[in-house]
A and B are shown apart, each in its own frame.
Chain A
Amino acid sequence: MHSRPTAGLQGEHILAVEGLTKRFLTRDGALLAVERVSFGVKPGEFLSVIGPSGCGKSTLFNVIGGLTGGYEGSVTVAGETVNGPHPAIGMIFQEESTFPWRTVLENVCFPLELVNMPKAQRHEKARHFISLVGLDGFEQRYPAELSGGMRQRVAMARTLVSEPRILLMDEPFAALDEQTRLLLGDKVLQIQQQLKQTTLLITHNITEAVQLSDRILVMTYRPGRVKRIVDIKLPRPRTSEIVGSAEFGLAVAAVWNDLREEASRGMRESENAARAERKT
């Protein structure tokens, strides 16, 4: 990992993305996934990135997480350039990512084993984070014995146990039903408030973004650019009860106003592409 001093968005931001552009080579030529994306996340802040399908949200997740290279611009964590997976960034994936051959406790212990923490100590620490995500009593269960929401909480505990400075989540509740999603949102809020965890959430769900975030970055349809950053001024601490408030509705409407045009454009272009493919 190389570090170099950079200026601009850093300073008060623990995570800074500056002028990020990423192209992919496809059979139809170069595809511009994201273009000149710049933003910063302050310590303890919850920032969501929202955009229509195909706007490069997952590309952004992979670049910030250090899983994808070959981009223009820079990603820095506390002034240190990210050139690969950074120890300060903990990632939670959209797909089911628990290790099926490990129990809940063993899954959560995984990062602690890598740093050779003594068994008793790592069990104690893992149990604390299992409790934090509300899975007490399930330590000896295997992921196959748990629901989708519980498995995502195991993945969350496994990431949190390594105490990352930044939590990076890629649509972690996308595969879950709406009620579970709202309740897990409560859990995330509670954890974020308790740990003062800096969090960057990639999502396409407006209510989820408004429920959880301090700010929401709205992206344009392909190529993904920053369209606007919306401040969510809802009071904290929050719970899912807030979804019934008028302020919540206004915030959702404000984000949707920005997103609607992009989502419509995305839908139109997808349909045109499908038509063109059928013709050829």
Chain B
Amino acid sequence: MNTASFALARALPPIVGFALFIAAAIAVEGLLRLGVINRFIVPLPSEVAASFGRLFAEEHLLARFLTTCRECLYAMALLTILGIGAGAVLHRMPLLRRACETPIAALASAPIVLMYPLFLVVFGRSATTIVVMGLIAGLPPVILKTIEGLSGTRRVLINVGRSFNLTPRQMFVKVMFPAAVPTIFVGLRLGLIFALINIVGVEFLINFGGLGQLINDLAERYDLAGMYAAISFVVLVSVLFFVITERIERWFSQAA
């Protein structure tokens, strides 16, 4: 494969993805104009696209986007440190692990977002409440996947480490952790999804912060086109963090 065809092979999937997105938008536009879908529920994609300029100028969309990104970044950093740390500790302590694994798994399916009044009392109507709620929602998958990844290290790789007389620290850093990285990153991505849902949800509920608050404001004004445009920026946050975690995973795998 020469350089040009290699570059084309790399660029083709996003081009096809974008083309499919445009085709879907055109299809929805057509169905709305034909009256198949109710225009009072779903705005015209062309109106959504046209509203971006207004949102940037009047609603400070970029600042809101960056606020949500910042909250996600804090939550992600805390998820990485606390989630992987807790998972590693639980992996080392089998009794504690057996005692905690089920409650942690149960926490993953609990509707934590409904506990926002409690967090408002503790942290006030602030970004801290939003980040902490995102963090708590995202922790279970990170902890559980870290345990799963470390426990799933193939016996033969541990034996290779033992045959080279690795210390417990070397065994963790050079063998077990790198072997667990793909599974841990599955947990981090899941955790980030849960965190983002909760961050935007709490912003919406307490009418504070970034995109969630903006969506709330626009919904109350019945600005459907603006609301859908703001929601598309929530998707953009998700895509952005997905790409970041993918890059970090690749870097981690190569650095180990």
Contact = CB atoms under 8 A, between A and B. Distances in A.
* Contact-size category for B: 10 to 19
A85 B178 contact: no
A231 B157 CA distance: 35
A65 B175 contact: no
B49 interface: no
B181 A114 contact: no
A195 interface: no
B164 A99 contact: no
Contact of B159 (A67, A111, A159, A162): A67
A89 B159 CA distance: 13
Contact of A114 (B162, B164, B178, B253): B164
Nearest to B181: A101
Nearest to A93: B156
B165 interface: yes
Nearest to A103: B254
Nearest to A107: B160
Interface string A109-139: 0110110000000000000000000000000
Contacts of B157: 97, 99
Q: Is chain B's interface secondary structure helix, strand, loop, or mixed overall?
A: helix
A91 interface: yes
Contacts of A97: 156-157, 159-160
Contact of B154 (A87, A95, A110): A95
Interface in A162-195: 162
Interface in B117-138: none
Interface string A219-247: 00000000000000000000000000000
Given A95-B156, A101-B178, A101-B253, A114 B166 contact: yes
A65 B159 CA distance: 10
A85 B164 contact: yes
Interface string B144-166: 00000000001011011011111
A114 B160 contact: no
B170 interface: yes
Contact of A90 (B154, B163, B181): B163
Given A66-B163, A85-B163, A159-B163, 17 more contacts: A65-B163, A67-B159, A67-B162, A85-B164, A90-B163, A91-B163, A95-B156, A97-B156, A97-B157, A97-B159, A100-B179, A101-B178, A101-B254, A110-B164, A110-B174, A114-B170, A162-B164
